[in-house]
Amino acid sequence: MAVVKREGNEKRSLEHKNQKCLGCGICTDICPTKALRLGPILPIARGILKSDFISIDQEKCCLCGLCSSSCPFDALEFCINDENTKNMNLYPHWNHYATIEEKECIYCGKCAISCPRDAIHLQRNLPARSDLVFGETEVDLNKCVYCGMCEEMCPADAITIEKNEISSDKPYVGTSTKIDESKCIYCGICKRICPEDAIKIVCTTCMNRDNAKPHPVDGDIILDEEQCINCGWCQEICPVNAANVKKPFKGNISFEENFKCKGDSCHACEDVCPCNAISIVDNHSFINPKFCVLCGACARACPQKGIVIERDDMELTNVRSKSWDKRLNSLKQSK
Amino acid sequence: MPVIIDQEKCNGISECPGEGLCIKLCEKGALEEKDNQIVFITEKCDDCDICIQNCPSQAILKE
């Protein structure tokens, strides 16, 4: 974590938060005094090198705050008199976002599994099985020979046989056979496999149709905005359109015409991509633009310089200064 | 194209800021350590250039 602080007429401070940084280098492109330096992102991403993505040259940093306004991932906090410029009307605002509508969510959990930043937390309450299926079970222990076939066959793991440690004074294998009705689905497999006809299973689910009302699953789905980078995975993977994502940039990602990708030998792009938007398919980089935030880390990491990032538009508004507007708009030039 | 290790810039693994980063990064095993020096094995190299791009001493280049 790099920090620059200075006090004059105003107290200004800039803080780099490495845990939020993607190593994309947007800030290093924007910095007018070349005070920010991007570290070796590939070894860092691979965990070979322990280092922050960004270092700040205290001597060169003029504490203008441009880098903080340019970072779409909130990795640079710039404060004037202890107030974050993100909360000030005079400074630019990013308008990208990600939301998950709890009303629409069916708690399937696909978003939580696919989120590359582990930013989605799901907790759901499922009904008891006994709310959905009905029936009766009975084991005739006078007939049961404790062969254990029912226990082995039961698909719901509902049957337990209490075994006896066999000895000359206790010359028997089992002491009881129990069916746990909170697990039993009354499928009848135990009844059919039992060689001694010791088990009775009656499924009354169909007869209890009126009681077998649908039991809606409830729960909580939480999107951690601190971790989220608006990559779009949740939106793409959600089966009921409960997730909405607005990305920081609009544009395209593509390959250079004569790009000779080294695929499995290299996979630098795949390793540095914070969005899990890149994989190596048939020994060639495969980029799914649906999951890309156009941060440009892959283009920087590619030793063959084969990836082209084109940003046509960005969700940055309230840029009040002309010089800042010019500087920040330079992000739209293709890389 | 064969990779060349500039022996003037590369001061061996013990002095390397990346502690032999090129060896760690190469997926093909085309760079090896021998007596603290980097040895390049042409036959194994797939020309991905990751070593060239990431060498902290900029000691790796191509002919």
In this prediction, residue A196 has a pLDDT band, given cuts at 50, 70 and 90, of: very high
pLDDT at A2 > cutoff 90: no
> Could you read off the pLDDT of A49-89 as tens digits, one per residue?
999 999 999 999 999 999 999 999 999 999 999 999 999 99
Is A314 within 8 Å of A251 (Cβ atoms)?
no
Q: Would you say domain A97-125+227-332 falls under CATH 3.40.50.1820?
A: no
User: Residue A253 pairs with which residues in a beta bridge?
Assistant: A309
The predicted complex's ipTM stands at 0.91
CA-based nearest residue to A64, from A37, A34, A31, A86: A31
> Could you read off the pLDDT of A261-289 as tens digits, one per residue?
999 999 999 999 999 999 999 999 999 99
User: Residue A249 pairs with which residues in a beta bridge?
Assistant: A314
Distance from CA of A40 to the nearest CA of B (A): 7
CA-based nearest residue to A150, from A195, A185, A114, A110: A195
The amino acid at residue A81 is: N
The reply to whether domains A3-92 and A97-125+227-332 share a CATH topology is yes
> Considering only CB atoms, which chain A residues are within 8 Å of B56?
40
The dihedral formed by the CA atoms of A19, A24, A29 and A32, expressed in degrees to the nearest 10: 0
The proportion of chain B whose per-residue pLDDT surpasses 90, expressed as a percent, equals 65
* pTM reported for the whole predicted model: 0.86
C-alpha to C-alpha distance for A233 and A244, rounded to whole angstroms: 10
- Which of B25, B28, B46 is closest, CB to CB, to A48? B25
Name the residue in chain B with its Cα closest to that of A40: B54
Pairs across A and B, CB distance < 8 A = 42
Domain map of chain A by residue range?
A: 3-92, 97-125+227-332, 129-203
Tell me the CATH class for A129-203. alpha beta
pLDDT at A213 > cutoff 80: no
C-alpha to C-alpha distance for A186 and A291, rounded to whole angstroms: 45
Looking at CATH, the fold of the domain delimited by B3-58 is given as Alpha-Beta Plaits (3.30.70)
Tell me whether residues B27 and A46 touch, CB distance under 8 A.
no
> Considering only CB atoms, which chain A residues are within 8 Å of B24?
43, 48
pLDDT at A224 > cutoff 70: yes
Is A226 within 8 Å of A20 (Cβ atoms)?
yes
Looking at CATH, the fold of the domain delimited by A3-92 is given as Alpha-Beta Plaits (3.30.70)
Is A243 within 8 Å of A235 (Cβ atoms)?
yes
